[in-house]
Amino acid sequence: MIRIIYSKHFLRETKKFPTNIQTKLAEQLELLQQNPFHSFLHTKSLTGRLAGFYSFRITRDWRVIFQFKKPEIIKLIGIGHRKDIYKEK
């Protein structure tokens, strides 16, 4: 099973989200641990200045950016609305 680690930024931002988004995130993280490319996650490889990073959906509008540190370790980098998340990094 894949181990997930969290950036300080990710943890700080997650606390600001409504409870329903946090609950959905917890469900998605379970899927991420089992298979980072599960079809329910809609995982995408990012390009441009975010090359080397990936994103997955929490809901239609909310995304998480992550990076593989090793094949069995994922680091969650950022979380946010789809219109803003790709501008942060």
Q: Distance between terminal CA atoms of the chain?
A: 28
Task: Print pLDDT tens along the chain (89 aa).
Answer: 899 999 999 999 999 999 999 999 999 999 999 999 999 999 999 999 999 999 999 999 999 999 999 999 999 999 999 999 888 54
User: Are 21 and 58 in contact, with CB atoms under 8 Å apart?
Assistant: yes
Find the domain containing 71 and state its range: 3-88
Strands 3-6 and 73-81, bridge-based pairing: parallel
| Gap between the Cα atoms of 41 and 38, Å rounded | 6
Global pTM reads: 0.91
| Gap between the Cα atoms of 59 and 2, Å rounded | 22
User: Are 62 and 50 in contact, with CB atoms under 8 Å apart?
Assistant: no
Q: What is the pLDDT of residue 87?
A: 80
> How many domains does the chain fold into?
1
Tell me, what CATH number does 14's domain have?
A: 3.30.2310.20
